[in-house]
Amino acid sequence: MKAEEIKKICVVGAGNMGHQIALQAALSGFKVTCTDINEKTLEEARNFAHNWLQSRVEKQKLDPVAAEAASERLHFTASLEEAAQDADLVIEAIVENLDIKRKLFAQLDHICPPHAILATNSSYIVSSRIADATGRPDKVLNMHFFNPALVMKLVEVVRGPHVSDETVEAAIGFCHALNKVPVRVNKEIYGFIVNRIFSAITQEACYLLDQEVASIEDIDLAVKNGLGHPMGPFELLDMTGIDLEYDVLMGKYRSSGDIKDKPSPAIVERYAQGRYGRKTKRGFYDYNK
């Protein structure tokens, strides 16, 4: 499968990442079907796409004809078979649970045409833990988009030992077609590139907070004004989700058994209180004000 042969995209998972990836692909000229088992999530995704396109037109940042064309190329359905049966590329953006992902990829292997590439948007679960659930391991890889996917340019294309050269090149080419910046990760490693670096920063930021060395606000100010980061580590955790950070760290801890991998008290406290960040209006910061 070559990049120029990719015409039809299936995105599995209509949540925040999934529906933005789907909309970006539709804006880039691809025929896209986004699917989810949750009808409410699908309806929210439809409304987001409609409102986002309309707002871009109203702000004169998108031509009305282009917006209409993108809307016509983007479809939503609760049927996985309908969404994936003629796909050239599937991008999975569902819950970070290995068993659920393996079950889905086994289904996709039966539904999709033999040439289709199956990609996971997972930020931590490497494709070698999923590929053997299919009969096409050479066509299974990680394509890790960043949140918000309509804005962030980076995509980490991660090559496991089972992935063919052709699949990697097709994924790289597809990212370029989306006007994204793909980076090659030549070996599978926990967290890939960006999340490993981000994890080191957030771990140290949480340590400084837990030890009462400095406040949330001052740590964020120091990182933004001293290191030139656009957001501080706590602001970024609030945006990506403290619940996700907790789940990822607990998963790593269960796997390694190393107490150093456990989430910090600052993360655990907010997770227990349901303060997940922007999505719940409270995290390290209060967004109700």
For 27-44, how does the pLDDT look when each residue is reduced to its tens digit (9 = 90+)?
999 999 999 999 999 999
CA distance 132 to 136: 8
Place of tokens 């309309």: 54
Collect the ranges in the chain with pLDDT lower than 50: none
Domain over 3-185 is classified CATH 3.40.50.720 = yes
Residue 204's CB: how many other CB atoms inside 10 A? 14
Exactly one of 19, 121, 156, 264 is catalytic; name it: 156
Q: Are 33 and 21 in contact (CB under 8 A)?
A: no
Report pLDDT for 4.
Answer: 95
Q: Are 243 and 237 in contact (CB under 8 A)?
A: no
Report pLDDT for 242.
Answer: 95
Half-sphere exposure of 159 (CA within 13 A, CB side): 17
Exactly one of 127, 195, 199, 264 is catalytic; name it: 195
Report pLDDT for 81.
Answer: 98
Exactly one of 19, 144, 199, 264 is catalytic; name it: 144
b/e sequence 13-35, b meaning 16+ C-beta within 10 Å = bbebbbbbbbbbbbbbebbbbbb
User: Residue 132: what are its φ and ψ, rounded to 5°?
Assistant: -75, 0
**Domain residue spans in the chain?**
3-185, 195-279
Q: Amino acid letter at 144?
A: H
Residue 148: is the preceding peptide bond cis (ω within 30°)? yes
Q: Which of 182, 187, 153, 152 is nearest to 169 (CA)?
A: 182
pTM of the model: 0.87
Q: What is the CATH number of domain 195-279?
A: 1.10.1040.10
Report pLDDT for 252.
Answer: 84
> Is 38 tagged catalytic?
no
Q: Are 266 and 283 in contact (CB under 8 A)?
A: no
* Token pair of 229 as six digits: 């980061």
CA distance 35 to 42: 7
β-strand 74-77 against 31-35: which pairing, if any? Answer: parallel
> Is 144 tagged catalytic?
yes
Q: Are 93 and 11 in contact (CB under 8 A)?
A: yes
Report pLDDT for 96.
Answer: 86
> Is 110 tagged catalytic?
no
Exactly one of 16, 121, 123, 199 is catalytic; name it: 123
Report pLDDT for 244.
Answer: 87
Residue 77's CB: how many other CB atoms inside 10 A? 15
> Is 156 tagged catalytic?
yes
